[in-house]
Amino acid sequence: MNSIRQRREALGLTQAQLAERVATSQPQIRRLEAGERQLTKEWAERIAPHLGLSPSELMFGSASYDPPSPTGPPAGAAEHNRNKSAPDKEILVAMTQQIQSNTAGSDVPMQPLPANARLGDELPDPHLRIPVFGQAVGGVDGEFVMNGNRLDDVFSPPSLSSVAGAYAVYVAGESMEPRYFDGEIVFVNPSKRARRGDFVVAQIQAEEHGPALAYVKRFVRWNAEELVLAQYNPEKELHFPAGQVISVHLVVMGGAV
């Protein structure tokens, strides 16, 4: 049985009651329980607290899963720094001895100089690549089909090197000029929550059996009724029923490639 449904029924909640607590729609809960919509990390973080579970318990059935921290050090950094610690201490001792030997006749005892720098964490792998989605031609409002087909691979920015599921998209059309231009690439962090005014990539399922469409826009609001996005050229707001929203992911940076 689906873990959401199993836990919901154990708590005596209806789909409508759970949807109200999560600030989404009942059809959205039904799709998640039926497996028609993927239970993403974002959805797990929204639903799990209302079921008395952690997001990892809801997604994986246990509390043992520890997802990588987007801001944590890359794998191997701790071991790398431990290996460096011994030579660093030897250098400090040698420097102290040299200073003391040079001032042997001084009446003032010489103290070791305080460190003016420290070794940082190991830099992320500069050769890590992430997928690029999108299409050459967008719709009237710059929407494009985002069906999982990768168009290209690009080097990941360091800020996304440890973020699971990070990706990039090509901007289609001129609807976001002068902020983003046609053909420009934007990098996306799917793990961070968007706030009002942030730029996002929103996936919308407008038709039940139609393709998922993606929009690069500015985030206005998202509640149980609708998702509202804004664009610049022409200036207007786009409104989507909450039940059509697949995901809203944060754009962290953009640029030419």
Residue 112: predicted pLDDT:
63
| CATH architecture type of domain 3-60 | Orthogonal Bundle (1.10)
Which whole number is the average pLDDT over 80-96? Answer: 51
3-state secondary structure 232-252: ECCEEEEEEEHHHEEEEEEEE
For residue range 125-137, list pLDDT tens digits in order.
556 888 888 765 5
Determine phi and psi for 5, rounding to 5 degrees: -65, -45
For residue range 49-75, list pLDDT tens digits in order.
999 888 888 887 754 444 444 444 444
Q: Which tokens sit at 45?
A: 């973080």
Query: Inter-axis angle of helices 26-34 and 15-22, to 10 degrees?
Result: 110
User: Where in the sequence of the chain do the CATH 2.10.109.10 domains occur?
Assistant: 129-255
Q: Quick check: 186 and 216 in contact, CB under 8 A?
A: yes
User: Where in the sequence of the chain do the CATH 1.10.260.40 domains occur?
Assistant: 3-60
Residue 110: predicted pLDDT:
56
The CATH homologous superfamily to which domain 129-255 belongs is: Umud Fragment, subunit A (2.10.109.10)
For residue range 119-177, list pLDDT tens digits in order.
555 555 556 888 888 765 567 787 888 777 777 888 888 888 888 889 998 888 888 88
